Structure 1
Amino acid sequence: MTRLLFAGLATVDLVHRVDHLPGPDEKAQATGVEIAAGGPAANAAVTAAALGADVTLVTAIGAHPLGDLIRADLQACGVRVVDATPTAPGPPPLSAITVLNGTGQRTIVSRNAGDLVARVPPRGLPDADLTLVDGHHPALAVAAARSARRLLVDAGTWRPVCAEILPLAEVVAASAAFRHPAETAPTDEALATAIGAPHVVVTHGPEPVRWFSGTHSGAVDVTPVDAVDTAGAGDAFHGALAVALARSPAGATALADCVSFANRVAGARVVRAGPRAWLATLPRFD
């Protein structure tokens, strides 16, 4: 079985579905409410576990009662959790997510990790065929990156720790909004060059995903779907990409196939409402 390690953020996600987004001083009645574990690394880990991988998530949760919600949900999803801050008394990171019925667009208000400092657990990090880091909890990210056999970096937003982990990556999956300080022009080619990893993937939401592998590059189309919930779609993409990469040989052709599979998984995510119902519809990687 493919063994994957995810290091990064886990949150409590409070998800409201509404018919319209409220303006200032306006109240809106939610048509649905769900509570689940969230965060880039946690969502990717849930996706990978649903795809049949043996998954461990190293994160920071703490001893606050809200942390039990994260642990219980991830356990139910088949994710093994290693808490780097088991005695921290404060609440875990919390995200308030509002999803607009009809379009699936969402707004997110979050504290993320705040000032919480997560160190490497005393027992160290488990061995894995491939490791994904999301850049949250910098000390964990660096330790996981340095010990990884193969490293995938979720580069959603530039963070100072990126300077340490990007040079160690085999694959960097960057959003179109990611900006490397060395980037000289707002193009995917410039971004891939600035990142400098052997393989770089740049996502553009519903637009084609660009990939760069040595002297080779290409684009993988995203199949149009009627989106009803886009929350966590990028995280699902990264979790599926991690599974596909771990089960594939290196090379440009394999990278394109892995991106294609991750696109299909992200598409399955956005056509079902809620953080977990979509997992029953996952495609399989052959």
Structure 2
Amino acid sequence: MPTTPSAALPEHAPVVLACGLATLDVTQVVDALPGPDEKIVARSLDVHAGGPALNAAITAARLGCTARLASRVGTGAPAAAVASELAAEHVELVDAAGEGWSLALSTVLVTASTGQRAVVSTNATTLGAPATLPDGVLDGVTAVLVDGHHLDLAVPLAAAAREAGIVVLLDGGSWKPGLDALLAHVDVAVLSADFHVPGVDGAGTLDAVHGHGPAVVAQSHGSGPVDVASWRPGDVTDGAAPRRARLDVAQLDPSDVVDTLGAGDVLHGALLAAVAHRGARTWEGLLDALGAATDVATASVTFPGARGWTGDAATVARLRHRVAP
């Protein structure tokens, strides 16, 4: 099970682990999405590593954490490109890919005028033989993020983290078969606006997800407020009623939005870093960590791609201070 080395980070940097999907993304910026049988010319082309857990791990590393990624990458030219990029970003790769594993690929079209994206991808749904992660993968880890992919890796990892007292976060992009088994080991679930529990209407989503295990459930709504509910001891009010809040998100002028690609991944990586730096064990602490994470995600959409912001040293320094003041 090969790994890439992690470069030295500042002393006492908290250690975080993201478990989930890694992909190779082909991103093209276009004036408009093509219609049926239409051929268009892109403004630009970029090929880079992607995936929710991978982007979150790199985000956390840029925000001052020692980051690990547990995923399936494998061998071959596309996999080598992903592993090389992770090494350059100082993210340690714990690769559980078995023989014959094919790296997931994503094709992304970004509309230049709005920054909105359209994505076609192959997800990690056909896993083959279950794999195990090496002993020591949780050594020193203070917070874990799972994205709902590679459930045969994520479920036992989350269970072991919970048993060790490590905070487990979920990037809830969408409901996936078997997700209920993972939710049983999650402390804080942060859902996308598109997340729907089968058979549950939108208004009951937070309560339904809590019913599967997480004590804290939040749902983002793009640039709109984040809904948060907590059933943790001390956060419950009036008997069994949870504490609830709506967390405002900083607003941008539409002309400042360059690319919304990966903003959700950045949000989860920033929350992972904020929880690792701060602890965020109280209601107020969690809301502040979420606020810091939304600020990082908002800043990210003013740059191209999920990690364009990481190329601006002043932005990285400002956001690192916001996450770890």
TM range (shorter): over 0.9
Residue 152 (structure 2) pairs with residue 142 (structure 1): no
Residue 45 (structure 2) pairs with residue 33 (structure 1): yes
Amino acid at match of 1:169: V
Q: How does 1:1-286 map to 2 (within 5 A)?
A: 1-85=13-97, 87-117=98-128, 119-123=131-135, 125-127=137-139, 128-148=141-161, 149-181=166-198, 183=200, 185-187=201-203, 190-196=204-210, 197-214=214-231, 215-225=242-252, 226-246=256-276, 247-279=278-310, 280=312, 281-282=315-316, 283-284=319-320, 285=323, 286=325
| Percent identity of equivalent pairs | 39
Which whole-Å CA distance do the structure 1 matches of 2:80 and 2:145 have between them?
24
Following superposition, the deviation at residue 244 of structure 1 comes to 1.0
Structure (1 or 2) with the larger CA radius of gyration? 2
Following superposition, the deviation at residue 105 of structure 1 comes to 0.4
Which whole-Å CA distance do the structure 2 matches of 1:249 and 1:122 have between them?
28
Amino acid at match of 1:193: D
Cα-to-partner distance string for 1:20-43 (whole Å, 9 max, x where unaligned): 111111111111111111011001
Structure 1: give runs of 5+ residues left out of the alignment.
none
**Would you say the 8 A contact 1:120–1:140 is kept in 2?**
yes
**Would you say the 8 A contact 1:15–1:34 is kept in 2?**
yes
Amino acid at match of 2:127: L
Moved over 4 A (4+): none
Q: Helix, strand or coil for the counterpart of 2:78?
A: helix
Q: Which residue of 1 aligns with 2:237?
A: none
Which whole-Å CA distance do the structure 2 matches of 1:253 and 1:101 have between them?
38
Cα-to-partner distance string for 1:118-163 (whole Å, 9 max, x where unaligned): 5123446333111111111110111211111211011111112211
Q: Helix, strand or coil for the counterpart of 1:129?
A: strand
Q: Helix, strand or coil for the counterpart of 2:26?
A: strand
**Would you say the 8 A contact 1:13–1:37 is kept in 2?**
yes
Amino acid at match of 2:86: L
Which whole-Å CA distance do the structure 1 matches of 2:99 and 2:75 have between them?
6
Q: State the TM-score, normalized to the length of structure 2.
A: 0.83
The 1:244/1:119 distance shift into structure 2, 3 A limit, reads: same
Amino acid at match of 2:116: Q
Which whole-Å CA distance do the structure 1 matches of 2:57 and 2:18 have between them?
6
**Would you say the 8 A contact 1:66–1:92 is kept in 2?**
yes
Query: Which deviates the most, 139-148 or 273-282?
Result: 273-282
Following superposition, the deviation at residue 181 of structure 1 comes to 3.3
**Would you say the 8 A contact 1:213–1:251 is kept in 2?**
no
Following superposition, the deviation at residue 90 of structure 1 comes to 4.5
Q: State the TM-score, normalized to the length of structure 1.
A: 0.94
Number of aligned positions between the proteins: 282
Amino acid at match of 1:254: G
Which whole-Å CA distance do the structure 2 matches of 1:44 and 1:150 have between them?
16
The 1:96/1:218 distance shift into structure 2, 3 A limit, reads: same
The 1:167/1:116 distance shift into structure 2, 3 A limit, reads: closer
**Would you say the 8 A contact 1:227–1:270 is kept in 2?**
yes
Q: Helix, strand or coil for the counterpart of 1:142?
A: helix
**Would you say the 8 A contact 2:14–2:66 is kept in 1?**
yes
